Structure 1
């Protein structure tokens, strides 16, 4: 058994490691620069996070042009640039059965136009950009094999393969996998904009084109690899058409039956992916829009033996504060969204109830704050982190609205949201109603994370939070932009951080669908009460997914069936079933496996579920698990707290905290002595800072006070706190007045607005 001296020395060593021991549960801390703004992220393996941005004027250069992609090293907290050849702006993404990743679609190539009278760089879809070095990404399929080590050591197999393309142009599409590993690619725009609806809906009602929106909307599905169908591999989607423009970044989850749950506008369906028959489900009871640009936090709840791995979906936030007309069109909203309060409403829906009853929404606990662009990240303990977003407004950006036709008059530059939510919250679906949201002990960030922000679970159980860029191009705080492009990455440290982590032995590298169980062990002496620890242990698989626009495509949590056997020396053996013998529950591909003891997870490691190929997966009958067998030498299971105590007494977390505190105290003493010798008085410093701040605000029409003390909570004290009335949305009924003519489909980006009086970027 390790001695106290060894534990203490180990803790001191950890205390000197970058950003680990010094952090406590609930902290959220800056850790480094991503070099490109993290609009999209996915975890490639145990070492690397892949980051994608749009083609824009990032300072970081690769091959003579601004970079649009990077790879983050989890151990060193540094980013290395990688090339991306086709513009990935607002792409979809998903994993493949063998562990590779694919991203689908993106934006047209972009070129700066510095002559714009709006004072910003407009964008033209007119060929490969000499500035940004990308080609048209809207049909692109980018395949990547995740590699380890330094990027400089990678072979060609580690970089993108762009030899495949989609059939249709897609921007703001969604991806979800089927049980054989085939990827369904859902919807999207052709040229892009605020919502997927032409201005002719307003200006020329007789010419309305709900199916294709005058060649701007791609209200269809296709598959990767391509599936032969009557439509040359493309399947029309009446559901997307009926969603009336609020249908991009559709929420999609595969069900146990193999049907696909889809949510857009306020509506949901189940889609048979063989016959393509759509079965309508109930509309959202509060008429809350959850998809982009309302951008709610949406996730599948844990799949567990107790619920027979039956999928249920949680929806939190979004907005119902805009009327159908106010949602506008491709160009921009027909309102000022930052004046509209986001929703704090949460609903649960089980699309396929196990008892065969009709699907029905269930009211859940309201969030501590209303949020648009809030994102759910599933943690290994089965709780859900809610992070990022704002209390007012929506996702997207624009240069003008019907009442503000000059960018200089926009109150938050291009951002359509404000009143950022800086404090995370944790949702525990296992708690009784009224007790599911937790904010106690969670620290606030100092970085607003609005449009184009992301968050993702790391294998060590931390959450990486990055991105935010609510504008057409890179914008800097030095240019007096209230919500600038963010390159700082943060780590959030969940409540289990700092506790002694389980150290399981025998974790597999592959799993099958049914078949022989496997065994995992926890060492003798690891816990004071081995029986109690064993009874509170579970083995889980998590897919962090492809995160962008407040959603995570493919994010899923599955608890494997398991039993335990405790030896007389305290060694715990877990007998663990393979994945349930239904590939629709957990599709083939990579996942991270964790052993969780009383809410504290082990360090996760990657494995592959299934055959590693896109094919019908082989299933087998699950071998019966041995019965639970506690040891008579320890207290009865469930009779005491397993905590995270080792048999030596104090946990590693305690020693880490002690060492970290000692280091902090020594640093503080040194700083105070230095400050007494070198610094001006606090009064002088404070006066100088205040004067500088006042001068900056006088000269800055977009200034916001982003110091932590100045941030309002629950919307209090903010100039935009008026709650707009809840206005019902319709997925099919449009009776809107005509407005100024605007043919976005001809403009493909910059276009005249209000009879050509103002050149403008339009909304995204």
Structure 2
């Protein structure tokens, strides 16, 4: 099979200098909408999504719930999203585009039911006249990221969001999304109706309020299929954890259960339950990630879980709310790891890991270029979720406003999977953020190897009052990991823009100015890492993976170092096709990341080739780097320091089909493949800490003039095929009204005394 073509970035020989203090936070600016969800689009842009709510920022006459952050200017601008993205899932596509799946029905102020209800359902709505959001429960929204030199107002740079054209078959709220080896995305589970968790109590019918099925995007033409694992884990299976495995099967974890799921046959192989009774899925919301896959561990896939909650089953309550004062219940600090498919054929089992330094709910793992994991955000006590009251506590009795959690954890920590047991966690030298990052906060790795952190809004609607403990948060921050103590960072040349599965190797050159000391030592301490930051919400980074490429090296007479680097292993199951960041890391210090596309850029069986044989490494004893040697991060924050302290055709390429060939323009909504045009571009003493500072634009009121629904075809045209099955044919421009979306939403009610309206899921 042919290898994917390589396109190389022009050399940048000047060494890059870190300008920030290692272990510190920097407040960057205002995200305009609270960052419930976000993803890195490319080297220039971070895309941010909120739920439909009363943000002061306006777009087209209504409050915005989408924005885009420019990494060059640290400024945000609003983006139009038409449907309610409340607690969606999302994932990358093979060509670098992103999709967001599902959400909630239309809502108005204070999470009230939208003004335009369904005739046969008094609890759900298709549209709201104040916030002007449409029902997003079945929505599939597509965005092709643009760069700073493009016109962001161009429809090609905007969200495509029209469920009358492109939607799922089932309503999915709090679902999971995970890509397969060909780039197809699996959507798993979710709520149909709102609530704190997915059950009544006692739990006699797991189907109530739940979507216990899975489906694919692009669609395989089949209706959603029932997934037995979701029945087994009823109640605590919102945002289930899903990881594609080397075998092509999928690891699933929810409630206390674990399984390997063969999605092709819809069969399951049960693995041991999660030890110690710790729930890891929402609303326990543990930090979860697949550990780095490296040549040294033979690209083994090991998944780590840290934190969450060990509340007993009854304490979780039901759709309405928890049954205890969660905000006083300490979060777990327990960590477990599991290798679902051991290379030696042994039985998979959970292994106790070092405990976190403190318990966390809603903590989030970010995999760093040096192969360590940073945990940020979260609370010492309680769970995710919010409500005006609970079944046991009135509004006046809730001490932290509408939050089910308390005690923001503002100090990050580093986990080093390669450090000796008992020494894997550290927070030495890390500042503590003064911004609470609790429910609906997010974080993601940036190309400069810092971490972008934003969001937090444990409130039913926007609340920026200084009287609430945890107001709606609009401030974005960067956290600078330990390697920012280095004076100089690598400035490699020859970085490719695409990576293939197997095939010919490529060379990367590291100039002498990018390191100090012995060239031989620097070369031996250099790795090339591929990181997919993922699509993030609710303490999860869907799609996040780290893979170290195999390499050898030649130390040259001018003291530069040439790295001879293999392509990706010829197995798409371990790192699915799509966008990623490519880093060169010299002795723990990363270069800036280069945006690359892994694989063919299409939803298809990925071309593979044999893994290449690399030349042997060549040393040169008198080679020495000319970079500054001060401030080396080699030991900073390491495990040795561990401590317990307008219509256009611009979206035709987005919505119409490359699966199986670039010429077929076929509408996905009728089950034909997609083509997305490639663009260049526990102790029981509660832990309490002072609340973090606040400050954000005040919520404003909006008039009730309805949005022009007849133009909801979005800012583009989508084309059906013609009578012969070829496109372009007839443009689709129908008004969206999902008349089939009609089932109770337990989280919403017009009854003023309803517990349901006071205990949102959400």
CA distance in structure 2 between the aligned counterparts of 1:532 and 1:83, rounded to whole angstroms:
51
CA distance in structure 1 between the aligned counterparts of 2:756 and 2:586, rounded to whole angstroms:
61
- What residue number does 1:170 align with? 172
- What residue number does 2:220 align with? 227
Query: Cα distance, 1:653 vs. partner?
Result: 8.7
154-163 or 131-140, which deviates more: 154-163
Q: Sort the Cα spacing of 1:56 and 1:497 in 2 relative to 1 into closer, same or farther, 3 A.
A: same
Q: Deviations over 1:574-594 (max 9, x none)?
A: 000000000001111111000
Q: Does 1:495 align with 2:476?
A: no
Q: Does 1:296 align with 2:286?
A: yes
Q: Sort the Cα spacing of 1:650 and 1:167 in 2 relative to 1 into closer, same or farther, 3 A.
A: same
Aligned 8 A contact 1:109 1:124 in 2: no
CA distance in structure 2 between the aligned counterparts of 1:114 and 1:286, rounded to whole angstroms:
36
CA distance in structure 2 between the aligned counterparts of 1:151 and 1:373, rounded to whole angstroms:
36
Query: Cα distance, 1:10 vs. partner?
Result: 11
Aligned 8 A contact 1:482 1:704 in 2: no
Runs of 4+ that moved beyond 6 A: 113-116, 752-755
RMSD (Å), alpha carbons:
2.5
435-444 or 498-507, which deviates more: 498-507
Q: Does 1:550 align with 2:539?
A: yes
Q: Deviations over 1:417-439 (max 9, x none)?
A: 00111111111111010110011
More helix per residue: 1 or 2?
A: 1
Query: Cα distance, 1:487 vs. partner?
Result: 0.3
Q: Does 1:52 align with 2:49?
A: yes
CA distance in structure 1 between the aligned counterparts of 2:352 and 2:421, rounded to whole angstroms:
9
Paired residues, number: 634
* SS of match in other structure, 2:520: helix
1:131-146 equivalence runs, <5 A: 131-146=130-145
CA distance in structure 1 between the aligned counterparts of 2:246 and 2:756, rounded to whole angstroms:
52
Query: Cα distance, 1:30 vs. partner?
Result: 1.1
Aligned 8 A contact 1:399 1:763 in 2: no
* Larger RCO (CA under 8 A, 6+ residues apart): 2
CA distance in structure 2 between the aligned counterparts of 1:24 and 1:182, rounded to whole angstroms:
41
CA distance in structure 2 between the aligned counterparts of 1:353 and 1:531, rounded to whole angstroms:
35
TM-score (norm 1): 0.80
CA distance in structure 2 between the aligned counterparts of 1:706 and 1:245, rounded to whole angstroms:
31
Q: Deviations over 1:530-568 (max 9, x none)?
A: 111000000010000011000100000000000011112
User: Equivalent of 2:406, from 418, 423, 435?
Assistant: 418
Show structure 2 runs of 5+ residues with no match.
Answer: 1-13, 114-121, 634-687, 694-741
Query: Cα distance, 1:295 vs. partner?
Result: 0.2
User: Equivalent of 1:519, from 502, 507, 516?
Assistant: 507
Q: Sort the Cα spacing of 1:705 and 1:302 in 2 relative to 1 into closer, same or farther, 3 A.
A: closer
CA distance in structure 2 between the aligned counterparts of 1:475 and 1:359, rounded to whole angstroms:
46
Q: Does 1:750 align with 2:748?
A: yes
TM-score (norm 2): 0.80
- What residue number does 1:601 align with? 590
Q: Does 1:610 align with 2:599?
A: yes
* SS of match in other structure, 1:497: helix
Query: Cα distance, 1:706 vs. partner?
Result: 3.4
* SS of match in other structure, 1:547: strand
Q: Sort the Cα spacing of 1:110 and 1:624 in 2 relative to 1 into closer, same or farther, 3 A.
A: same
Rg: which structure is higher?
Answer: 1
Show structure 1 runs of 5+ residues with no match.
Answer: 1-8, 15-19, 117-122, 636-645, 655-702, 709-743
- What residue number does 2:248 align with? 258
Q: Does 1:242 align with 2:232?
A: yes
User: Equivalent of 1:218, from 187, 201, 211?
Assistant: 211
Q: Sort the Cα spacing of 1:411 and 1:704 in 2 relative to 1 into closer, same or farther, 3 A.
A: farther
Q: Deviations over 1:227-268 (max 9, x none)?
A: 13xxx3311111011102100100110000000000000111
Aligned 8 A contact 1:589 1:610 in 2: yes
Q: Deviations over 1:355-408 (max 9, x none)?
A: 00000111110001100000000110111111111111000011222321x323
1:436-451 equivalence runs, <5 A: 436-451=424-439
Aligned 8 A contact 2:174 2:191 in 1: yes
Q: Sort the Cα spacing of 1:114 and 1:298 in 2 relative to 1 into closer, same or farther, 3 A.
A: closer
* SS of match in other structure, 2:584: strand
User: Equivalent of 1:194, from 169, 193, 196?
Assistant: 196
CA distance in structure 2 between the aligned counterparts of 1:752 and 1:328, rounded to whole angstroms:
22
Aligned 8 A contact 1:751 1:761 in 2: no
